Structure 1
Amino acid sequence: MGALRETLDLERLDDLLFRSGSAATRNTRVFGGEVAAQALMAAGRTVPGDRHVHSLHAYFLRPGDPGSPIVYQVDPIRDGGSFTTRRTVAVQHGKPIFHLSASFHRPEEGYSHQPPKTERPEPEDLLPGEEVIAAADPATREWFDRVHGDSPLEIRFAEELPRFAALRGESAPPIQRFWFRTHETLPEDDPLLHACAVAYASDLLLLCSSVAPHARTLDGGDFQFASLDHTLWLHGVPRADDWIFYDQEGMWAGGARALCRGSLSDRSHRLIGSVVQEGLIRPVG
C-alpha cells in the first residue's frame, strides 16, 4: 500500500527544478499516473496558491525506470490576470520521458450546468477490490497485485470487469466503472495535493476498456500497449480522500491505437473531472 503524500513530496533542487525519489513498484516501468501527478505537483509548486489547476495535457514519451529518480523541469510559460500556464518536462537518464502542459485558474463565478445523474451503486454496497480479485483466477490475482499492490488508492468495482469476460472468451462492452479514494486522509487546505491525487488516478485501468469488445486483456501477451497522450480537465476542487466515481469508456479503436474517455464525479453526483486518453494497442505475434 503506497503513501501518496510521500510519492508526491518532490525535492526542490532550484526554483523551477524538482526531483522525485525512486518509485516503489513491482513493475518494470513507472505507472503513468504517478509521473503525471508528480509533473503536475512540480508545476503547481511554482504557481500562486489562489489558482487551482483546471486542465493538463500530457504526452508519454518513454517508459519511466522505477529504480531511478525523475527530474522535473518547469517552464513558467505565462502568468496572466486570471490564468497561469506551466510546462513540465520529466527527464530520466538524460532523456525526456514525459511532457505536461497545465493551466491554473483563479476561482470565478459563472454559469453552471452538467450532465444528468446516472444510476450507480454506492461504495458501501460494494466489496473492496482486493476481495473481488481474490476470487478470480491466479493470472488475474497476479495482474491486480502487480498493477495495484503498491497503489495509494482504494478501489471498489461497480460491476464485473470486462477482463473477466475476456478470460471466458467473451466480448464485453468497452465500459468500466469503479469508485476510488486515497487510503490516507489528505489535508483539507492543500487543493494541489488533491488535484494531483486525481491526476494519479485518472490513468488507472483506462486503456483496459479499449480491448473489451475484442475479448482480450492487455497483459495477455498478444498486445504491445502504452499510454500515448492524456488530458484531464478538473471542473472544481476535488477531495481525493472521499469516494470518487470513475466511469470509463473505450470509444474507438483502429490503426493500433485506441481512444478512451472517462468522467469523474463525487458522492453528490457533482462532475469534478473529465478525461480523454489515446493509447497504443498493437497486436503482436
Structure 2
Amino acid sequence: MSRTHEVPTTAPNQIARPPLGQILALEELDRDLFLGHSYNDSAFRIYGGQAVGQALVASGRTVSPDRRVHSLHSHFLHPGNPKAPVIYHVDRVRDGGSFTTRNVRATQDGLTIFQLTASYQRRESGLSHQSVETTATPPEELPDFEDSLSPDELRGARPWLDVLRRNIAIEFRFPEEYPRVANARGEARPPCQRAWVRTSEVLDEDPVVQAAGFGYVSDLFLLSSALPPHGITIDEPGLQLASLDHSVWLHSEFRADEWHLYEQEGLWMGGGRGLARGHLFDRAGTLVATTMQEGLLRLRR
C-alpha cells in the first residue's frame, strides 16, 4: 500500500518530525563534495541513521544510475553536531564491469566524524533463496504505540518517546509488546524485538533516496535489542550506549516509505560492547535487507 500525500501533516497533539526529504537532499559543492544539514536544533548529536543516509546519497550521486547499492559498511567516529552542516567527501575507489565501490568521509570543522564504504552492482538475475521466514499482524491492524500502553506505562514512556518522535523521522508499530516496556517494569525478556517501520514522509522515487531512506531507518532500535535479557533500558543510570559500526545488505529494491517488518536480535554482549542483527521483510515475508551493528554498551554502576 502506497501513501499518496506529498507533505507530512501533523495533528495538533502530535510532535513534528524532522523533514527527511530535505535531510537527504544534499547540496553539491564540487565534484565528489556534498553538504548535508540536520534541520534539527533540539537534538544533542546527529542521529546515526542520518549520517548513514546522507553518506549513501553522496556516494550514489557519483554512480551510474544503472547500478544499485547492495551493501554498505560504516563506522561512527565522533558525535556529530546537528547545529552545524556536514561535508561528505566521496572517493571513487573502483568502477568495474559489474561493481562500483565508493568511500565517503563525513567531516565537521575538519574532523572526520563518520565514514562509509558502499558497493553498487549492475542488475543481474540468478539463483535465489532465503533461510528465514516470518509473519506478523499487518500494521494497519495494530494500534499506535501510545494506545497500546497503560496510563502508568505511558507516563513512564512519554519522556523518551517525545524525544524520539521529535528527533527521528520514522513511524513504527509493534506487533508484540516492545521489550523496553517490560524492562521498565524490571522484567527480563529474550534479546528479540520486532517493529513495522517506514519513513514518516513519502520520499523521492529515486532508488538512491529510497535506499538512503532505509539507511536512515536501519539504525532505529537495533542496538537496544541486546538489553532485554538484562532487564534494563537505555535510560539505565550509568549506561553508555553508542553505535560503533553499522552494516547493511540490500537484497532487492524496495521503498523505505512503505511499511516493512524489522526483526532485531541482540546476538551478544560482553566487554562493554554489544552485537545486534536485523532482518527486514516486506508484507509478503520476503527478506529485502539484513543489518548488523556493534555498539558501546558500557554499564558503570
Q: Which TM-score band applies after superposition, normalised by the shorter structure?
A: over 0.9
Residue among 58, 74, 78 paired with 1:62:
78
State the Cα distance separating 1:144 from its structure 2 match. 1.4
For 2:290, the equivalent position in structure 1 comes to 274
Q: Once the two structures are superposed, what CA deviation does each residue of 1:186-244 show, in whole Å capped at 9, x if it has no partner?
A: 343x1111100111111001111111100111122220110000100000111112111
For 1:94, the equivalent position in structure 2 comes to 110
Map 1:194-213; keep pairs closer than 5 Å.
194-213=210-229
For 1:237, the equivalent position in structure 2 comes to 253
For 2:279, the equivalent position in structure 1 comes to 263
Distance 1:223 1:6, change over 3 A: same
Matched, 1:127 2:149: no
SS in 1 for 2:227: helix
CA distance in 1, matches of 2:252, 2:43: 33
Q: Is the 1:252–1:260 contact (alpha carbons within 8 Å) kept by the matching residues of 2?
A: yes
Map 1:101-120; keep pairs closer than 5 Å.
101-120=117-136
Map 1:118-267; keep pairs closer than 5 Å.
118-132=134-148, 135=151, 136-188=153-205, 190-267=206-283
Gaps of 5+ in 1: none
State the Cα distance separating 1:181 from its structure 2 match. 1.4
CA distance in 2, matches of 1:277, 1:193: 22
Amino acid at match of 1:165: A
Q: Once the two structures are superposed, what CA deviation does each residue of 1:58-91 show, in whole Å capped at 9, x if it has no partner?
A: 0000111111011100000000011000000110
Distance 1:184 1:108, change over 3 A: same
State the Cα distance separating 1:178 from its structure 2 match. 0.5
For 2:9, the equivalent position in structure 1 comes to none
Q: Is the 2:21–2:204 contact (alpha carbons within 8 Å) kept by the matching residues of 1?
A: no
CA distance in 2, matches of 1:144, 1:133: 12
CA distance in 1, matches of 2:140, 2:261: 13
Q: Is the 1:126–1:156 contact (alpha carbons within 8 Å) kept by the matching residues of 2?
A: yes
Amino acid at match of 2:166: G
TM-score calculated relative to the size of structure 2: 0.90
Percent identity over the alignment is: 48
User: Over the residues paired in the alignment, what is the CA RMSD in angstroms?
Assistant: 1.5
CA distance in 1, matches of 2:268, 2:125: 36
Distance 1:26 1:157, change over 3 A: farther
CA distance in 2, matches of 1:234, 1:208: 22
State the Cα distance separating 1:50 from its structure 2 match. 0.8
SS in 2 for 1:149: helix
Residue among 20, 26, 36 paired with 1:20:
36
Residue among 37, 61, 64 paired with 1:48:
64
TM-score calculated relative to the size of structure 1: 0.95
CA distance in 2, matches of 1:154, 1:133: 17
Gaps of 5+ in 2: 1-16
For 2:300, the equivalent position in structure 1 comes to 284
Q: Is the 1:87–1:99 contact (alpha carbons within 8 Å) kept by the matching residues of 2?
A: yes
Amino acid at match of 1:62: H
Distance 1:174 1:226, change over 3 A: same
